[in-house]
Amino acid sequence: MIQTAPSLPKPLIPCSGRVRSALPLLLTLALAACTSVPLPPWPASGGAAKAPPVASPAPIPATVAPPVVLVQPVPVRPAAVVAPAEEAPYSAAVAARFPAPTVIYTTPGLQEGRNSFTSNAEIQTWLRDLVASAAAIPGMKAALLPIGQSQRGEALGALVLTRGTGTDAAAIAASGRPTVLLIGQQHGDEPAGSEALLVIARELTQGLLRPMLDRVNVIIVPRANPDGSADNKRATTGGLDMNRDHLLLNTPEAQALAKLTRDYRPTVVVDAHEYTVVGPFLQKFGAIQKYDALLQYATTANIPEFLTKASEEWYRRPLVAALKAQGLSSEWYYTTSTDLLDKKISMGGTQPDTGRNVNGLKNTVSLLIETRGVGIGRLHIQRRVFTHVTAISSVLASTAQRAPELGQLQPYIEKEIAGLACKDEAVVEAGPTLTQQELQMLDPVTGADKALRVEWNSALTLRKIKARVRPCGYWLSASSKTAVERLRLHGVQVLRVTEPGSMLGDLYRETARTAGVRQDVRGAIADARQIVKTEVALVRSVIDAPTGSYYVPLNQPLANLVIAALEPDTQSSYFANQLIESLTGSARVMSEPALKTEALP
């Protein structure tokens, strides 16, 4: 079994009960720190104990408040704006379970009487105005980066906020602060995350979140899929689900996010989504979805253990506490297939294709936050935005609080991954583990809690499907230019062979082949284009490497992403999706090659 969520030790420091009633919320984050567990000593490789390469993070005393005490959504002026009423797809008793928050937000799309959400042009204007206002604040640097265009030519922009010396990638790296990347509306019919990120952006530049920038850098992409938003559809123009495109990078929208993460190397990535409230849940279970927020971090093969540990202890647990403090409910993210006879409930997928999982393979704390919104239009929109703002504020505060430890964690993980080349085992494919779970939903008539015992595909403990000895690297033919381009968009180091050479490796010999389509965890089609479903055997051989072919070493931080892309016999691989045309176009290199190569410019 692959333990992607290892059993976690009890807190190493006791939590003080000294919270004065006069401070009902200000110490919530301090108490959340009590649930955080500093990483244990790093595990030794080869069985022999050895000193960790970095100092163990020091516990934060329970009696010391973290540097930022903001835990509640920030009131945005002017207040008292109420979205127009609309018919709910469930009873008034269900709707009553989700009262509007006491804080009312205003963005262009949340104005009184408005029937549409903030347009992409309005988002760009909003961000430009924030950059202009930030220029008057001593020490603050802000910039709106043009990161690409949608398939219809709509601008994709990222707001960079820092108290460093500049907003370019080099200055952000030199600041020594962790960088948080916030992404909204990859799915066009999920608007609350986008509206919430406009609120977050304003509060970081003009409001109560501004002190966060003393500890962290923040990059905000409020809307990653403007075409889908304009159409109120999940997919991008052309029908591709961009949140299943983060390994392949077939869409310009996913490419823009890949280049942004490659250049700015965030420590934490938050993906803001919304989930279906009624739909198949009512049809299958006679129930309505209950939770204000569904949460998950990266759960795919080869995620480092300590990255999972940090995601759970330093982020998810404090996030759950922050939501609860605001009267908001949460659960692990889950979904169900469109097949009405399939009664299984599945956590977020284990394929290396979503932003959540691919960013985990890039060694970031990668978090998914979903509010209840798909299929209910503007209903409860203030509460949905309230939920996102609460959750994202918690993530920012956790990053500010854990900045020193995060500075130790990421370099350690990258060094550990690079050191695994040519040895140990790599998991090629993994799947969820089927368990049982008691899940709370709502009765569609009475609005009362409805407990269901369901079959639950858990992504917290992965089931190993295929595993192989980890190679030293991969050889790619000179014709594999598209695959090389996509790897380099991710930030993978690729070397070009400058003189003919040879090396020991494993060739892929096909033993079976079928055609099919990529599917996601819901059983839906992630990409209607045909893929090659192949089974292979490995054949040890001497591989000729002609001039102009490529070598992708695994002694680099993104080695686990390379494995996901280049092992051919999975539905997410570059071969299956025809970015590599032939099985003869790649091979596993099993000893350090003595090749003459050059780094690509």
Distances (CA, A) of 398 to 70, 306, 502: 11, 16, 49
Can you tell me the mean pLDDT for 43-56? 30
Residue 33: the pLDDT is: 34
Query: What amino acid is encoded at 169 in this protein?
Result: A
Residue 86: the pLDDT is: 58
What's the pLDDT tens digit per position in 366-406?
A: 999 999 999 999 999 999 999 999 999 999 999 999 999 99
Residue 334 lies in a domain: yes
Q: How many helices (H) does the chain have, and how many strands (E)?
A: 15, 20
Residue 525: which pLDDT band, with cuts at 50, 70 and 90? Answer: confident
Round to whole Å and give the CA distance between 61 and 504.
Answer: 53
For the record, the structure tokens of 307 come out as 């990255």
Distances (CA, A) of 320 to 325, 393, 582: 9, 12, 47
Are residues 308 and 164 part of one domain? Answer: yes
Eight-class DSSP state of 108: G
Please, what sign has the CA dihedral across residues 135, 139, 144, 146? positive
172, pLDDT greater than 60: yes
Of the chain, the end-to-end C-alpha distance in Å amounts to 41
Q: What is the CATH number of the domain that holds 133?
A: 3.40.630.10
Residue 593: the pLDDT is: 96
Cβ contacts of residue 271 below 8 Å, gap of 6+? 183, 186, 243, 355, 356, 359, 366, 367, 368, 369
What's the pLDDT tens digit per position in 324-350?
A: 999 999 999 999 998 999 999 999 999
Domain count, the chain: 2
Are residues 486 and 400 part of one domain? Answer: no
Indicate the SS3 state at residue 419. Answer: coil
53, pLDDT greater than 60: no
Residue 535: the pLDDT is: 97
Are residues 480 and 373 part of one domain? Answer: no
Are residues 546 and 398 part of one domain? Answer: no
For the record, the structure tokens of 286 come out as 């006679």
Query: Percent of the chain, pLDDT > 90?
Result: 82
Within 10 angstroms of residue 99's Cβ, the number of other Cβ atoms is 11
Round to whole Å and give the CA distance between 369 and 384.
Answer: 11
Cβ–Cβ < 8 Å for 366, 311: yes
The size of the chain, in residues, is 601
Residue 86 lies in a domain: no
Nearest to residue 578, comparing CAs of 473, 512, 480? 480
What's the pLDDT tens digit per position in 404-423?
A: 999 999 999 999 999 999 99
Round to whole Å and give the CA distance between 181 and 16.
Answer: 33
Q: Which of 425, 452, 487 is the last residue in one of the domains?
A: 425
Please provide residue 193's backbone torsions phi and psi, each rounded to the nearest 5 degrees: -65, -40
Residue 526: which pLDDT band, with cuts at 50, 70 and 90? Answer: confident
Question: Counting Cβ atoms within 10 Å, is residue 263 exposed (0-12), middle (13-18) or buried (19+)?
Answer: middle
175, pLDDT greater than 70: yes
For the record, the structure tokens of 86 come out as 């609309």
Residue 223 lies in a domain: yes
Are residues 419 and 333 part of one domain? Answer: yes
Residue 542: the pLDDT is: 97
Residue 288: the pLDDT is: 96
Can you tell me the mean pLDDT for 49-60? 29
Cβ–Cβ < 8 Å for 553, 495: yes
Cβ–Cβ < 8 Å for 442, 452: no
Q: Please tell me the least confidently modeled range out of 63-77, 373-387, 456-470.
A: 63-77
Q: Which of 406, 425, 444 is the last residue in one of the domains?
A: 425
Are residues 399 and 495 part of one domain? Answer: no
What's the pLDDT tens digit per position in 304-329?
A: 999 999 999 999 999 999 999 999 99
Residue 569 lies in a domain: yes
Residue 380 lies in a domain: yes
Strand partners, 582: none
Cβ–Cβ < 8 Å for 554, 562: yes
539, pLDDT greater than 50: yes
Are residues 409 and 487 part of one domain? Answer: no
Are residues 223 and 168 part of one domain? Answer: yes
Write out the E strands in 87-174. Answer: 141-149, 155-162
Residue 364 lies in a domain: yes
Are residues 201 and 283 part of one domain? Answer: yes
Write out the E strands in 54-128. Answer: none
Are residues 388 and 495 part of one domain? Answer: no
* Domain coverage including residue 331: 92-425
Q: Which of 425, 457, 481 is the last residue in one of the domains?
A: 425
Can you tell me the mean pLDDT for 157-169? 97
At 3, which helix (H) or strand (E)? Answer: strand 2-3
Query: What amino acid is encoded at 153 in this protein?
Result: G
40, pLDDT greater than 70: no
Residue 15: the pLDDT is: 30
Can you tell me the mean pLDDT for 227-233? 97
What's the pLDDT tens digit per position in 256-297?
A: 999 999 999 999 999 999 999 999 999 999 999 999 999 999
445, pLDDT greater than 90: yes
Residue 364: the pLDDT is: 98
Residue 149 lies in a domain: yes
Residue 355 lies in a domain: yes
Average pLDDT, whole number, for the chain? 87
